[in-house]
Structure 1
Amino acid sequence: MLSKVGVAYGTTNGSTARIAETIAEVLRKEGVLAEAVPARLVTDIESYDALVVGGGLYAGRWHKDARRFVRRHGRALAGRPLWFFSSGPLDASATEKDIPPVPGVRRAMTRLDVREHVTFGGCLEEGAKGFIARKIVSSGKGGDFRDFGQIEAWAARIGTELVSGAPAE
């Protein structure tokens, strides 16, 4: 059994942080020692046997902290079980269908042999940081589109795979 899993994330308004915390919580229920940590605060990944890396999507790009994390730790990540997630669509599309990773994430997935990527719905609510985010909210296009059932099911599959050592169905 693996001893520790890091769930590193890049977030601006906290929505992706909540997804990462949920993933870590489910992994712990599955019997895996896991912690969610902001990607910008991770200086060394040697203590992690596997990683889940996620970022919010902004204008078709992964959050800068997630991109920098993958770049900074690329060599060490390549030798570990690794999963990616994105959060972003401000509608129900992520629950209704599989949304492929944006090009930059897809390239990193190929380079690092990522086991799986999933895109979850995003959340943008009153008080959001950033001019564009505030404009989206004020235009009525914000809201919380995260599907925690979907997030928990994905995390449970990862937990099963890590505990059993075999890919989950």
Structure 2
Amino acid sequence: MPVTALVAYGTTNGSTGEIAEAVARTLREHGVTAEALPAPSVRDVTPYDAVVVGGALYAGRWHKDARRFVRRNRRALAVRPVWFFSSGPLDASAAERDVPPVRGVRRDMAHLDVVGHVTFGGCLREGARGRLARVILRNGKGGDFRDFPAIEAWAADLAKEIAAAPGDP
């Protein structure tokens, strides 16, 4: 029976969604039935054997849609393997070292016994929505710091972990 995974994400300008799509695509390439969906559109996680939750980082907080998804699905997430990812540093720091999860993410990780977390570089392009985004761009701090080979390598390892995880949540 194929293993199924959900990659739910919170994003404002779409770059975290692009990471989630890359994760789901890589999982599928490694034999896991996977789909990436915006976190607010997910009504039920029980059809999935494993869940990956991703959120963009804004001012030291995970995207509100990712936070709300975890809160809304806490019981169902507690009985299946869960992984988190964050996206957001607008510099090379995520590629140079392990960036620890922000406080709220750490708290959710502990409550849900999350298997793992990774932080990927973020992306902020011209035309991004939000006052803070416009200020960052005006100050020349935007750009695309996502490392898709690293994202795909993480997702390939994740596929092995998902396949090895105990089934029947």
TM class, shorter-length? over 0.9
Contact 2:16/2:56 (CA < 8 Å) preserved in 1? yes
Task: Provide runs of 4+ in structure 1 moved above 3 Å.
Answer: none
Q: Distance in 2 between matches of 1:65 and 1:163?
A: 27
- Paired residue for 1:43? 43
Paired with 2:133 and 2:48, the residues of 1 have a C-alpha distance of 34
Match of 2:161 in 1: 161
Where structure 2 has 5 or more consecutive residues not aligned to the other structure, the ranges are none
Structure 1 residue 101 corresponds to structure 2 residue 121 = no
- Identical residues among aligned pairs (%): 67
Q: Secondary structure at the match of 1:9?
A: strand
Distance 1:2 1:76, change over 3 A: farther
Contact 2:136-2:142 at 8 Å conserved across structures? yes
Please say if residues 58 and 88 of structure 2, whose CA atoms lie closer than 8 Å, have aligned partners that are also in contact. Answer: yes
Q: TM-score, normalised by structure 1?
A: 0.95
| Other structure's SS at 2:128 match | coil
Distance of 1:164 and 1:106 partners within structure 2: 24
Question: 2:147, 2:3 → 1: CA distance?
Answer: 28
Q: How does 1:1-169 map to 2 (within 5 A)?
A: 2-165=2-165
Distance 2:165 2:58 in 1: 34
Between the aligned partners of 1:2 and 1:100, the Cα distance in structure 2 is: 32
Distance, in Å, in 1 between the alignment partners of 2:110 and 2:132 is 31
Q: Alignment length, in residue pairs?
A: 166
Between 1:98-107 and 1:155-164, the stretch displaced more is 155-164
Normalising by structure 2, we get a TM-score of: 0.95
Backbone CA RMSD of aligned residues: 1.1
Deviation for aligned residue 1:163: 2.2
Q: Deviations over 1:56-90 (max 9, x none)?
A: 00010000000000000001000001000000000
